[in-house]
Amino acid sequence: MKGFLVASLLTLSFLSYSQTDEVSADKQPLNPDSLVQKTNVLKDSISNKISTIKPSENYDDIDRNMRYIQEIQKENDAKKKRSAMMRIFFGTGFLIILIIGLRRKRKPKAD
């Protein structure tokens, strides 16, 4: 009984999902000429939309963004330079303290 149900479900699925040879009225086979016409219409509409965009607005946005990025880079460079100068200052200060500490004479121990 179980095998019969599985077989009937398989045949039902094959029958319901199979393609028919009939061409319905709303689905015409593709004609190469109509396909070319549709692509030309799409191409024309895209080119019209592109031509309506003002390039000066895009250039202004790009220019403003580039100036902002350059300002951020300058600020980051200034911070890096400041931190490098501080490290150099502290390093030379500690080096001087080390040299002074090593050059000092030790007091003799009193026994």
Mean of per-residue pLDDT scores for the chain: 80
What is the value of pTM for the model shown? 0.41
Alpha-carbon distances of 61 from 50, 68, 74, rounded to whole Å:
17, 11, 20
20: amino acid identity, one letter: T
Q: How do the domains of the chain map onto residue ranges? A: 32-101
Can you give the pLDDT at residue 2? 65
Alpha-carbon distances of 6 from 2, 11, 17, 18, rounded to whole Å:
6, 9, 17, 18
pLDDT tens per residue, range 25-44: 556 666 777 777 888 888 88
Share of the chain above pLDDT 70, in %: 68
Q: What is the mean pLDDT of residues 50-63?
A: 75
Q: How many angstroms from the chain centroid is the CA of residue 50?
A: 24
Can you give the pLDDT at residue 69? 95
